Each structure stands twice: as structure tokens, then as C-alpha cells.
């Protein structure tokens, strides 16, 4: 009986590899159709058919057609929420999130699938641009909720929302810059988070000029 159970249940590593292959097949099918017909000519039904999966399977990997082109969003958000929940509470939330994102950078540096358009090209499509804005807004909402729960803040407390907005903005800026300069992804991320960690209470203020030789 035990042997039968072991044979019927794929090891977690095998399941994960199968999921990655399915995800890759969906993305490659979308890219092929995109190159043949353009963004507007691609439908979810056709992507699923070409990838040899059902539409239901498609939606277990992506919420919409737009998400196929934008890449992994929910996985990164889950990573950040988990980092908040499991952090050492002697350290600031920024430290926990920065460490989580640094650990994810090697995977993020993987080359984009063949035929995948770059960000400027994608953003020429209003549906993609709108979806990306929706994604960042959702990130801010989810992070604010996770931060408030973690620190025990009241629902009316504005601080978790401010922290979430700052973090989301930093990640958004770093991601956009890294798309334009993929070889400097690590340096860009470090600079953005160093700036955020230092705060900006004095940013933009120029020291007073000295007069009379004093």
C-alpha cells in the first residue's frame, strides 16, 4: 500500500518541474501567436490550444492574457508577503523584503523567452499598461494589509499604507530600470533600496550659502 501511494504521488520536485514546463509552454505559445498576429490577435483559447492545455489550466497559471506577457507577478508578491510574516522582528521590514528580493535576483536574470517583447513595446498596448498599473495597485494593497497585520496596526493607521506605497514604488522603479539595463539589475536594486533605507527627509534641500566670508 505504501509503495502504491509513493508511486501515485509525484515527488514535489517532479511536480514543480511539470508546472514549469506547462508555464513555459503557455508563454511560448503566446509568443508565437504574438509574432504571427500581434497582441490584439492573440486569444486565450488559441494560446491554450497551441500549448496543448485546457483554458482552465491556463487560468491556473495566469489571470489574463496580459499576465503572460508581463511575467511572474503573483509569485513575487507571495514571496514578499511570506518574508514579512516570517521575518526576525528585531529587524525592520525593509531588511526582510530586501533580502527576499536579493535572493530572487538570480532567477530574475534569466533571459526572456524567445519572441517576448520588451517593456517599452508592451506598454504601447493600453491593455498591458492598464494591467501593469492594476498589478502595482494590488501589490500596494496586499503589502499594506500584510504589514498592518504584522505590526498589529489598526485599520485606520496610515503608516502601513505609507510603507507599502514606498516599497512598491521602489520595486516598481527598480524593475523598470532593470528592464532597460538588464546588465545592471543588481546595482540598480541596491541603489534604490539604499536610498529608501536612508530616507528622504532632506532630499532636494540645498545647504544654505555662506555670506560675508563666515
Q: What is the domain-level CATH number for residue 21?
A: 1.10.10.60
> pLDDT digit string (tens) for 19-58?
889 988 998 898 889 888 888 888 999 999 999 999 999 9
Helix (H, G, I), strand (E, B) or coil at 187: helix
Mean pLDDT within 165-189: 82
Tell me: do 47 and 8 sit in the same domain: yes
- Contact, 186 vs 98, CB < 8 A? no
CA distance 146 to 82: 9
Return the pLDDT at 26: 93
What is the residue-wise DSSP string for 110-121?
A: SPPPTTPPPHHH
Residue 131 is assigned to a structural domain of this protein: yes
Residue 210 is assigned to a structural domain of this protein: no
Helix (H, G, I), strand (E, B) or coil at 43: coil
Residue 74 is assigned to a structural domain of this protein: yes
Tell me: do 51 and 134 sit in the same domain: no
Model pTM?
0.71
- CB neighbour list of residue 159: distance below 8 Å, 6 or more residues apart: 153
> pLDDT digit string (tens) for 20-31?
899 889 988 988
CATH code at 169? Answer: 1.10.357.10
Structural domain boundaries enclosing 89: 69-199
User: How many CB atoms lie under 10 A from the CB of residue 183?
Assistant: 9
Report the domain count for the chain.
2
Q: First vs last Cα of the chain: how many Å apart?
A: 90
Quote the percentage of the chain above a pLDDT of 70: 79
Return the pLDDT at 201: 79
Tell me: do 32 and 136 sit in the same domain: no
> pLDDT digit string (tens) for 119-150?
667 677 888 888 888 889 999 999 999 999 99
Amino acid at each position: 500500500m505504501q509503495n502504491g501511494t509513493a508511486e501515485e504521488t509525484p515527488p514535489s520536485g517532479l511536480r514543480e518541474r511539470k508546472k514549469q514546463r506547462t508555464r513555459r509552454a503557455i508563454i511560448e505559445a503566446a509568443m508565437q501567436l504574438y509574432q504571427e498576429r500581434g497582441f490584439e490577435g492573440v486569444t486565450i483559447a488559441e494560446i491554450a490550444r497551441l500549448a496543448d492545455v485546457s483554458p482552465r489550466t491556463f487560468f491556473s497559471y495566469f489571470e489574463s492574457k496580459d499576465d503572460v506577457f508581463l511575467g511572474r507577478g503573483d509569485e513575487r508578491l507571495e514571496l514578499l508577503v511570506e518574508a514579512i510574516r516570517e521575518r526576525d522582528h528585531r529587524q525592520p521590514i525593509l531588511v526582510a523584503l530586501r533580502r527576499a528580493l536579493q535572493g530572487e535576483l538570480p532567477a530574475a536574470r534569466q533571459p526572456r523567452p524567445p519572441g517576448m517583447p520588451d517593456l517599452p513595446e508592451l506598454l504601447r498596448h493600453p491593455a498591458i499598461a492598464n494591467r501593469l498599473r492594476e498589478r502595482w495597485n494590488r501589490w500596494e494593497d496586499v503589502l499594506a494589509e500584510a504589514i498592518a497585520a504584522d505590526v498589529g496596526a489598526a485599520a485606520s493607521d496610515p503608516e502601513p499604507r505609507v510603507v507599502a506605497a514606498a516599497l512598491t514604488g521602489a520595486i516598481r522603479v527598480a524593475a523598470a530600470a532593470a528592464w532597460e539595463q538588464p546588465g545592471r539589475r543588481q546595482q540598480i536594486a541596491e541603489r534604490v533600496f539604499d536610498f529608501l533605507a536612508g530616507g528622504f527627509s532632506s532630499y532636494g534641500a540645498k545647504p544654505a550659502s555662506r555670506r560675508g566670508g563666515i
